[in-house]
Structure formats: structure tokens, C-alpha cells
């Protein structure tokens, strides 16, 4: 962290300021881990349960609030600086106001009565006294320090898999595909940072679906028509072959512009309702389009009516919607 103080004079050194007020300027540097902690705060995979544990439970440290006492290694810089700034305003606000008034009065007196040395010297002395009073207010006091409270939370060694289904058909414009990729990059970072035992299965589809690796999922340019059910059928096959629902927590995130072969949307609804959703912990569908919803959206709405706790759908219109939609889909839920 870097902090720079301006105005009001310093507490030491030979350089002095002739300004009676100013702004406290701060420039903070945070690590990538701290940034990701902020990005993914209060997010979680819904309905995660223990399934055929491998090994014993582990414990991880989690934030449990803010305290005025704690370990120096757990100091909360932002909260501490905020408290320090509020204290400085409270302690020096009156003096700063009087200083501004005295400086204005001195400037006017020097202009209108330059020979009135008695009053000019009195004002100069008052200004100096106020500046010294302001400079004596400490920049940061131990009273300001705030610390993160940490508690140990048991973490079951659950096994989970996330299926990422991305539409790469010809109706998906380059801008739409870019937004889909940004959504999945955010999801991938979230999963890898927050869950040790999770696998990710990448599926791209147009008229046919194919399981691919991470590189091909994000960078392949293959395209074609649109049959969404091809991806659902492939996912169902992979689940039956590799991820028994009794042993795995199953998740899916699907992104599409909503365009689909007309007769295929009812097939998608039937596949989800009869085969896929009974095994799913959570399924989210993201429709990326500025247009009105298509048949696929309404077919999925009926799925959501049957599985309200395990199915969600949201629309992304422009890149600014990606992060808010992501937070809505994975907001940590209160458990009862």
C-alpha cells in the first residue's frame, strides 16, 4: 500500500506548506488474491452436499466480521483508513473551517488595509496556531485500526463437477461469443479459487456437440447451425459414464443467444425435466441477446417451475451485465 498526504502541513521535516487545507490522497496496491477475494465474496455453489467423502473433513479460515483488536497480519487496510479519515474530520473539521475564514479575512485585510500591521499580525498568529493544531492530529492512530476476524469453518471433501455448455452456432455473433467467454472465464476463476475438489467439463455445440479441453473451448472458431439438445444429450451421456449422481455434486452453466431449431426446444425441456434435472444440484441458463426471448427461454421457464431451487435463468444484454448476472446466479444462500 502507498499513501500520500497533502495539505495542512506536515509533522516533521523542513518543507512546509502555505496551504491551510487540502485532500488526503491514497493509492492502494492490492494483490490478485485480494482482488479475487473481493470479486467472489459471498458467492457459493448452491446445494453443495457431502457425497462419498474421500478422506476426512478439513477446515479453512473464513472471515467472521471486523474487530478493533486483532493480529497485525489481519489488519483491514480499507476499514482502518476509513476510520482514520473520519477521526481526522471530526477532530480537525472546526479548526479547518476557522482556518479558511482567517485566511480569507487576512487576504482581504492586506488588500484593503495594508498598513494595519496590528490586525494583520494577529491574524497571521491565529493562522499559524490553527495550522499547528491541525498538524498535531495524527494521520493514523491505534484507535483507528480494524482487523479481520477469522474463524475456522469445516469443509467437507465433496466431489463436484461443473458442465460448461456454450453455443457456438452461426447465430452467435462475435460480440455475443465474447460475452459468453467472459462469463465462463469468471466462472472458471471462481471454481478454481473456491473449490479444491471440482472438475470442469467443457462442451461446445452447434448442430452437434463435442467435449473439448479448456484451450479449444475458449479459442476454437468452429461454427454451424443450432440444435441445443445435442449438448444436453452429450452431457447426459457423460454423467452416466463418469459422474454417478450418488457420488458427485452435478452443476451446469449454459450460455446461448436463445436461437434454436424450432422443434428442438420442447426436446430440450423434456431432456432437462426427465433426465438431467433430477440429478442436478444446480443448473443455470444465461441468454445473451438484446432481443426478445425465444422459444428456448420459455421452454426453460417451465423447467424452472418444476425445479425452483435447482434451476435459474438470467439475460445478459451487454458486457456490463456479466458480473451482476454472475453474482445473482451464485449468490450464497441462507441455510435453514
User: Is-contact 311 277, C-beta < 8 A?
Assistant: yes
Last residue of a domain, one of 127, 147, 167: 147
Number of structural domains (the chain) is: 2
Residue-level pLDDT at 193: 78
Residue 38 lies in a domain: no
Q: What element of type H or E holds 63?
A: strand 58-67
Q: Are residue 207 and residue 232 in the same domain, yes or no?
A: yes
Residue-level pLDDT at 29: 56
Residue 306 lies in a domain: yes
**How far is residue 336's CA from residue 150's CA, in Å, rounded to a whole number?**
23
Crossing angle for the helix pair 174-194 and 322-330, to the nearest 10 degrees: 40
Q: Are residue 273 and residue 298 in the same domain, yes or no?
A: yes
**Distance, C-alpha 284 to centroid of its chain:** 18
Between strands 24-27 and 2-5, the pairing is: antiparallel
Q: Are residue 86 and residue 233 in the same domain, yes or no?
A: no
Crossing angle for the helix pair 32-39 and 174-194, to the nearest 10 degrees: 100
Q: Are residue 322 and residue 264 in the same domain, yes or no?
A: yes
Residue 22 lies in a domain: no
Residue-level pLDDT at 11: 43
Query: Residue 199 sits in a domain of what CATH number?
Result: 3.40.50.410
Residues in the chain: 336
Last residue of a domain, one of 108, 129, 147: 147
Crossing angle for the helix pair 264-271 and 229-242, to the nearest 10 degrees: 20
**How far is residue 58's CA from residue 51's CA, in Å, rounded to a whole number?**
15
Q: Are residue 191 and residue 300 in the same domain, yes or no?
A: yes
Q: Are residue 309 and residue 236 in the same domain, yes or no?
A: yes
User: Is-contact 169 223, C-beta < 8 A?
Assistant: yes
Instruction: Give the phi and the psi of residue 195 in degrees, each rounded to 5.
Output: -135, 120
Burial label, 91 (beta-carbon count in 10 A; 0-12, 13-18, 19+): middle
Task: Report the helix count and the strand count for the chain, using DSSP H and E.
Answer: 9, 10
Q: Are residue 195 and residue 137 in the same domain, yes or no?
A: no
Q: Are residue 180 and residue 106 in the same domain, yes or no?
A: no
**How far is residue 147's CA from residue 59's CA, in Å, rounded to a whole number?**
21
Q: Are residue 271 and residue 298 in the same domain, yes or no?
A: yes
User: Is-contact 3 27, C-beta < 8 A?
Assistant: yes
Q: Are residue 193 and residue 325 in the same domain, yes or no?
A: yes
Residue 62 lies in a domain: no
**How far is residue 205's CA from residue 208's CA, in Å, rounded to a whole number?**
5
| Close Cβ partners of 299 (under 8 Å, ≥ 6 residues apart) | 265, 266, 268, 269
Last residue of a domain, one of 120, 147, 174: 147
Q: Are residue 115 and residue 203 in the same domain, yes or no?
A: no
Residue-level pLDDT at 243: 92
Residue 79 lies in a domain: yes
**How far is residue 156's CA from residue 51's CA, in Å, rounded to a whole number?**
9
User: Is-contact 63 150, C-beta < 8 A?
Assistant: yes
SS3 159: coil
User: Is-contact 236 276, C-beta < 8 A?
Assistant: yes
From residue 57, give the alpha-carbon distance in Å to each of 48, 52, 156, 189.
14, 12, 5, 24
Q: Are residue 142 and residue 219 in the same domain, yes or no?
A: no
Residue 39 lies in a domain: no
Ranges of the chain whose pLDDT falls below 70: 1-40, 42, 48-60, 62-64, 71, 73, 143, 153-158, 333-336
Instruction: Give the phi and the psi of residue 159 in degrees, each rounded to 5.
Output: -100, 130
User: Is-contact 235 252, C-beta < 8 A?
Assistant: yes
Q: Domain range for residue 208?
A: 156-330
User: Is-contact 169 132, C-beta < 8 A?
Assistant: no
Residue 129 lies in a domain: yes
Residue 107 lies in a domain: yes
Between strands 311-316 and 282-288, the pairing is: parallel
**Angle (nearest 5°) at CA 282 between 281 and 287:** 165
- Pick the closest to residue 262 from 298, 296, 289, 291 (CA basis): 296
Residue-level pLDDT at 300: 95
Residue-level pLDDT at 282: 93
SS3 222: coil
Amino acid at each position: 500500500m502507498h499513501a500520500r498526504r497533502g495539505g495542512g502541513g506536515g509533522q516533521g521535516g523542513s518543507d512546509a506548506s502555505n496551504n491551510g487545507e487540502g485532500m488526503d490522497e491514497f493509492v492502494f496496491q492490492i494483490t490478485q488474491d485480494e482482488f479475487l477475494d473481493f470479486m467472489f465474496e459471498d458467492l457459493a455453489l448452491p446445494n453443495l452436499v457431502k457425497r462419498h467423502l474421500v478422506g476426512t473433513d478439513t477446515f479453512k479460515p473464513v472471515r467472521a466480521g471486523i474487530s478493533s483488536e486483532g493480529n497485525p497480519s489481519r489488519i483491514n487496510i480499507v476499514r482502518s483508513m476509513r476510520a482514520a479519515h473520519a477521526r481526522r474530520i471530526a477532530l480537525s473539521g472546526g479548526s479547518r473551517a476557522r482556518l479558511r475564514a482567517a485566511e480569507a479575512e487576512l487576504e482581504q485585510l492586506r488588500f484593503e488595509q495594508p498598513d494595519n500591521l496590528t490586525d494583520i499580525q494577529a491574524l497571521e498568529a491565529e493562522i499559524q496556531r490553527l495550522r499547528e493544531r491541525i498538524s498535531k492530529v495524527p494521520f493514523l492512530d491505534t484507535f483507528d485500526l480494524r482487523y479481520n476476524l477469522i474463524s475456522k469453518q469445516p469443509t467437507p471433501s465433496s466431489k463436484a463437477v461443473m458442465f460448461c455448455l456454450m453455443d457456438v452456432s452461426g447465430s452467435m455473433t462475435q460480440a455475443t461469443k465474447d460475452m459468453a467467454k467472459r462469463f465462463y472465464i469468471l466462472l472458471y476463476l471462481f471454481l478454481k479459487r473456491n473449490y479444491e475438489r471440482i472438475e470442469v467439463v467443457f462442451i461446445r455445440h452447434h448442430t452437434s456437440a463435442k467435449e473439448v479441453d479448456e484451450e479449444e473451448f475458449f479459442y476454437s472458431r468452429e461454427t454451424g447451425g443450432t440444435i441445443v439438445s445435442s449438448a444436453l444429450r452429450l452431457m447426459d451421456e457423460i454423467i452416466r459414464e463418469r459422474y454417478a449422481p450418488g457420488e458427485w455434486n452435478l452443476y451446469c452453466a449454459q450460455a446461448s443467444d436463445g436461437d434454436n431449431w424450432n422443434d428442438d426446444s420442447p426436446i430440450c425441456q423434456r431432456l432437462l425435466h426427465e433426465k438431467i434435472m433430477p440429478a442436478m444440484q444446480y443448473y443455470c441458463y444465461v441468454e445473451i441477446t438484446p432481443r426478445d426471448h425465444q422459444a428456448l427461454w420459455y421452454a426453460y421457464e417451465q423447467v424452472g417451475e418444476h425445479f425452483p431451487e435447482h434451476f435459474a435463468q438470467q439475460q445478459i444484454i451487454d458486457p456490463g451485465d456479466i458480473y451482476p448476472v454472475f453474482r445473482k446466479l451464485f449468490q450464497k444462500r441462507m441455510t435453514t
